[in-house]
Amino acid sequence: DAGITQSPRHKVTETGTPVTLRCHQTENHRYMYWYRQDPGHGLRLIHYSYGVKDTDKGEVSDGYSVSRSKTEDFLLTLESATSSQTSVYFCASGTDIGQETQYFGPGTRLLVL
Amino acid sequence: QQQVKQSPQSLIVQKGGISIINCAYENTAFDYFPWYQQFPGKGPALLIAIRPDVSEKKEGRFTISFNKSAKQFSLHIMDSQPGDSATYFCAASAGNTPLVFGKGTRLSVIA
């Protein structure tokens, strides 16, 4: 398995609080992604990065921001969490933007009360 | 707009049977079509992928069939086993754009 980890694995927070999820990969992959997975919606791309400090929006980026200061780390921030952001969040990494294997992390289960 | 439509949403198959999951797309620029498998509590993992220059790709019991003219592709799991019980996602991408995933199919293989 590609070395990709996420922290925390579980988090409960309250509406209006900021939340940061961390993704760390040891494969020196150029591309990193944040997805959310919800029943009936599958995997939806939030943001992705194509290099250090280079990021772009995905399908469901409203309410989320990202940062990538090092190749191995990709942070997802919910500036002010809402109940609609309760979800399972997956990070992934890969060597190509969409044409090669994406390696997924184990996921972070976030509950916003 | 849903770019990749996946069906069925759920599927129950007897052990030893054939599981078939279908996906359809509209964007004719798509040129890479992977399938991901996800077990409960885990992240998805690439199962098999195909490019439009071939109509079929087989890896063990898993086969992708691709119909370019119909803009459809499907996953066939032969001799389905209880260990195949998982959620399956089709996906597609075009050139240097991110993958777009279908909504997933929950497969249950019963003995």
Query: DSSP readout, B23-74?
Result: EEE--TT--BEEEEEE-TTS--EEEEEE-TT-SEEEETTEEEEEETTTTEEE
Per-residue pLDDT band for B62 (boundaries 50, 70, 90) equals: very high
Q: Which of B41, B93, B101 sits opposite A42 (nearest CB)?
A: B101
Average pLDDT over all residues of chain B: 95
Residues 6 or more apart whose CB falls under 8 angstroms from that of A17 comprise A80, A81
Q: Would the pLDDT of B87 be above 70?
A: yes
CA distance B105 to A28: 32
Mean pLDDT of A18-24: 98
Q: Would the pLDDT of B80 be above 70?
A: yes
Q: Would the pLDDT of A1 be above 60?
A: no
CB contacts, 8 Å: A59 with chain B: 100
Mean pLDDT of B17-46: 96
A33: closest CA of chain B, how far (Å)? 9
Mean pLDDT of B11-40: 97
Q: Which of B6, B46, B104 sits opposite A101 (nearest CB)?
A: B46
Residue written as tokens 């993704």?
A23
Q: Which of B41, B45, B99 sits opposite A98 (nearest CB)?
A: B99
How does pLDDT run across B88-102, given as a tens digit for each residue?
999 999 988 999 999
CB contacts, 8 Å: A104 with chain B: 43-45
> B52: phi > 0 → left, psi -120 to 50 → alpha, else beta; which?
alpha
Q: Would the pLDDT of A65 be above 80?
A: yes
